[in-house]
Chain A
């Protein structure tokens, strides 16, 4: 499995944000994207996920097998927004994404316990605090299997203990042959990860 980006260029509203960015990640490798606000970190992640068209270059995913033929089908995308419905309970939210996304991974109850939200699954998502919402959203990464995790500021709003727990989850994912691309300002606790600095 290999995630390759060649000569990527991105633009927002007709302005070029970055150009000529390339990387190649093998199984078990992580890439940390850093840079000041407005450098295009989120844009890069959205282009890699295929949610935005690339102004130039392309992204490929090789040797994904039948289950993961394309980048989009092989990726989890954790953006700024949590993609959860406030009117539904945490369990209903996770159960929906588990059923909809296919390739089921951990059970809902198990995933919630992994992010230390065990026993809160019956609460409406809207009742959770910011950090708890983020953790529930991280549990979404666990309920269905995807080799590539695209994470945009994944630890925003998390406390110290949750950050460490999340670092453990990412390491476990990498050990299992996964790929992580994370845009962040904060250290994520991934040793040996490649770093891509984006500057103006």
Chain B
């Protein structure tokens, strides 16, 4: 499993891996928001966490279509499935998700504090948003894996995956943003939505790979 993780990380940073596409998209969205909204610093600070979360969510969905498709096109997916008795397919999927998250989504979390400055957010808010992104974005990858597995045989499945997955990621977005606000706006709680966010990630870490493995098993041809 470790070898699969390392291979996917290597692939994501080599030529054509696309690890940086998400970060660049994230940067582009956040950098254009102040131009569109205007130089109202209070307004920017207020919508900052939500904008960071929405941009991160969309950036997460960008690279998902290649999660299994690349392996299917070169025949690797057959061999991963063939080894299902040694490595349960759901665990293989979980490993691929973790590698995808580390390679493509973790850079977003790292870039988020810097981009928070663009939104005139205070340090506490930036810290809270980065923390909720760190805890919440794996859930998006796990749901996305199920969508990617369903659409694995479709040559241009990227948009379909986004449409399939987006409604399911709404709870993650809601609790992520409300925890980020809770850290700065006084009456709103931070801990409760944050814990629900963590629970969502743990729950989807089981459900997403299981669903994806089922879809892959039935999608072979």
Contact = CB atoms under 8 A, between A and B. Distances in A.
B33 interface: no
B78 A77 contact: yes
A100 B220 contact: no
A99 B75 CA distance: 18
Contacts, number: 76
Nearest to B83: A101
Interface-centre pick from A51, A82, A88, A102 (highest chain B CB count, 10 A): A51
B156 interface: no
A55 to B, nearest CB: 14
A38 to B, nearest CB: 15
A100 B4 contact: yes
A189 B75 CA distance: 27
Nearest to B2: A99
Interface residues of A, number: 30
B186 to A, nearest CB: 50
B86 A73 contact: yes
A96 B3 contact: yes
Contacts of A85: 7, 11, 74, 76
B7 A82 contact: no
Nearest to B79: A83
A100 B15 contact: no
A154 to B, nearest CB: 13
Contacts of B16: 87
A179 B1 CA distance: 28
Interface in B162-191: none
Interface-centre pick from B3, B14, B82, B85 (highest chain A CB count, 10 A): B82
A31 B17 CA distance: 40
Interface in A63-110: 69-70, 72-73, 75, 77, 79-88, 92, 95-97, 99-102
B221 interface: yes
Contacts of A83: 74-76, 78-79
Contact of B15 (A69, A73, A87): A87
A80 B221 CA distance: 13
B86 A102 contact: yes
Contact of B75 (A52, A70, A73, A81): A81
16 contacts: A12-B221, A52-B221, A72-B85, A77-B79, A81-B73, A81-B78, A83-B74, A83-B76, A87-B14, A87-B15, A87-B16, A88-B10, A88-B14, A96-B3, A100-B3, A102-B86
Shortest beta-carbon contacts, A-B, top 7: A81-B75, A99-B3, A83-B75, A73-B85, A87-B14, A83-B76, A96-B7
